[in-house]
Amino acid sequence: MQSEPLLRVNNLSKLYAPGKGCEEISLDLYPGEVLGIVGESGSGKSTLLTSLSARLEPNAGEVLYRNAKNEWLNLYELPESERRRLLRTEWGVVHQHARDGLRMGVSAGANIGERLMAVGQRHYGNIRKEGLRWMEDVELDVSRIDDKPNTYSGGMQQRLQIARNLVTHPRLVFMDEPTGGLDVSVQARILDLLRTLVRDLNLAVVIVTHDLAVARLLAQRLVVMRHGKIVETGLTDQVLDDPQHPYTQLLVSSVLTP
């Protein structure tokens, strides 16, 4: 692990109502690291993810990001155009529901190509070539490049969403329950794919999940949240095998069902 973080969160709070949202969150994320945020639904983990990924301005605190030019950016002091630029270049966001992350009305190839076009690529042949390459990399049938995502299965839609994000070679990807709602066998294959991609591309990932098995498989480090606050943090094996906080102990013992 490198010594300088990629993302630095200082005392971030985003509350909709007392106890609703997330509060006083501080954490660091390092290049190439996969950080899992776990907790029950309502624990504030999704609010936190949205705030970290520049899509929800916090009430207090700051999120700092070190960009590809090695400059530290204070996300919510940037103009919105810059935040959007980050989201389609150096970052990616994989949503739980494919319809939130895909354009359902246009073909798979257009979905993958959109970010390339948004950053100024104007050669159709090259954009299409990239689309085909990424479909192969996420193990989608390339002959379906001109089909719309609503003709794809749930698992295929998630693969497409991943390809659509990775096409600009982001350094940091935010994932919100990326395998939620999928059949167990489909889930396992997507997790395998994500593991491979994260390793091969040296991606830093912040992944929100209620599923500790997913967290164990993907994340090197865990943050456990309850009632909007971090109650425990540490290396994944440590947290799951030897939980210190009573809430984490409950979570691990599967007494709590999400």
Count residues binding other proteins (CB under 8 A). Answer: 24
For residue 107, state whether it binds other proteins (rule: CB under 8 A): yes
For residue 117, state whether it binds other proteins (rule: CB under 8 A): yes
Q: What are phi and psi of 7, to 5 degrees?
A: -135, 135
Question: Rounded distance, CA 154 to CA 55, Å?
Answer: 25
Question: Rounded distance, CA 88 to CA 107, Å?
Answer: 19
For residue 144, state whether it binds other proteins (rule: CB under 8 A): no
* Bridge partners, residue 254, by sequence: none
Nearest CA-CA partner of 217 in 232, 241, 237, 202: 237
Instruction: Report helix, strand and coil shares of the chain as percent, to nearest 5.
Output: 40, 25, 35
For residue 114, state whether it binds other proteins (rule: CB under 8 A): yes
Name the residue nearer to other proteins (CB basis): 141 or 146: 146
Name the residue nearer to other proteins (CB basis): 19 or 105: 105
For residue 122, state whether it binds other proteins (rule: CB under 8 A): yes
Locate the DSSP E strands across 149-255.
172-176, 204-209, 221-226, 229-235
For residue 123, state whether it binds other proteins (rule: CB under 8 A): yes
Name the residue nearer to other proteins (CB basis): 88 or 159: 88
Window 171 to 200, contacts with other proteins (CB under 8 A): none
Q: Binding residue for other proteins (CB under 8 A) from 84, 144, 189, 229?
A: 84
For residue 133, state whether it binds other proteins (rule: CB under 8 A): no
- Least distance between other proteins and beta carbon 62 (Å): 22
Where do we find the tokens 């270049």? Answer: 89
**Token couple for 8:** 């630095």
Contact positions toward other proteins, by CB under 8 A? Answer: 80-81, 84, 88, 103, 105-107, 109-110, 113-115, 117-119, 122-125, 127-128, 145-146
